[in-house]
Amino acid sequence: MQYKQLSNGVSIPMLGFGTYEIDNSDVADAIQGALDAGYHHFDCAHIYGNEEAIGKAFKNSDVKREDLFITSKVWNADQGYDKTLKAFEQTLKDLQMDYLDLYLIHWPNEKDFQLTLDTWKALETLYNQGKIKAIGVSNFSEKQLKDVLSMAKVKPMVNQIERHPYKTQPELAAFDEANDIVNEGYSPIGHGHLILEDKTINEIAKKHGKTPAQVVLRWQIDTDFVIFPKSSKVARVKENFDIFDFNLTEDEIKDINALDQGKHLNY
């Protein structure tokens, strides 16, 4: 496993397991399968509707809490200072945990950004109380990040954004890096077969004796993104984890970067 260090010194595994769209009935097997494969970083969110099942799955496993890195997110309807504090306590209760490793604002409120700034103040409070080891945002633009940075007493440590070879977001990623904000990429292989059938990616995969998905995930890490692919298939979960025995060349990274179309594929 490779790790990134957040601006406050907390280490985050660069490869995690995504829990989006995993049905409650499948959670126990999915979580145990991920743990068996070697995952210790899990990306969750209240809106996914499965945090209670995820909490039970961890309780029923023999993994120690301190060996896990758990992320959750406050949903749009729960934004605002007091509502965020309440939503956080519900997430802790559902996950059966005493603290989170990372808590994010899931989306900025485009119509009332002050509400989002109040939400950030709540995250700072929880962070200062020691209930969260790190705080950050998701789906924030450069302008929105600047607005948060201008008022924050604790700066965002993470920005989680859609990121795959057809949407590489280089300008936003560079801004994040310049401000000590770690980039996380969701939908790391684009939610579909489009990217996995790409000629360039398949040629690179053949050279390394790897699958197209493994090449894309390796590209994410080689370009300094924390990622958390998801799958309910045991073989795919293991395959996604098996990316630490090779590296892409600079030319291969450039070739994948060149596939960028600014295309939204998170469907």
- The residues pairing with 41 across neighbouring beta strands, listed in sequence order, are 69
208: pLDDT strictly greater than 70:
yes
For the chain, what percentages of helix, strand and coil (3-state, to nearest 5) are there? 45, 15, 40
The single-letter DSSP state of residue 45 is: -
- Are 2 and 15 in contact by the 8 Å Cβ rule? The answer is yes
The pLDDT of residue 69 is: 98
3-state secondary structure of 4: strand
Both tokens assigned to 90: 């519900």
Q: Which pLDDT band, with edges at 50, 70 and 90, does 263 fall under?
A: confident
Per-residue pLDDT band for 113 (boundaries 50, 70, 90) equals: very high
3-state secondary structure of 102: strand
Residue 62's region, left for phi above 0, alpha for psi from -120 to 50, else beta, is: alpha
In the annotation, is 267 catalytic?
Answer: no
Q: State the pLDDT at residue 232.
A: 81
pLDDT digits (tens, 9 = 90+) for 128-157: 999 999 999 999 999 999 999 999 999 999
Taking only the tens place, the pLDDT of each residue in 158-196 is 999 999 999 999 999 999 999 999 999 999 998 667 899
CA distance 80 to 251: 46
Specify the 3-state DSSP secondary structure of 31.
helix
Cα 256 from Cα 267, distance rounded (Å): 21
Catalytic residue chosen out of the listed positions 39, 48, 103, 127: 48
On the question of pLDDT at 267 being above 80, the answer is no
pLDDT of 46 strictly over 70:
yes
CB-CB contact of 207 with 182 (8 Å): no
Residue 237: pLDDT band by 50, 70, 90 thresholds?
very high
264 pLDDT band (50/70/90 cuts)? confident
| Across 54-63, 67-76, 231-240, 249-258, least confident range | 231-240
Backbone angles phi, psi at 51, to 5 degrees: -65, -35
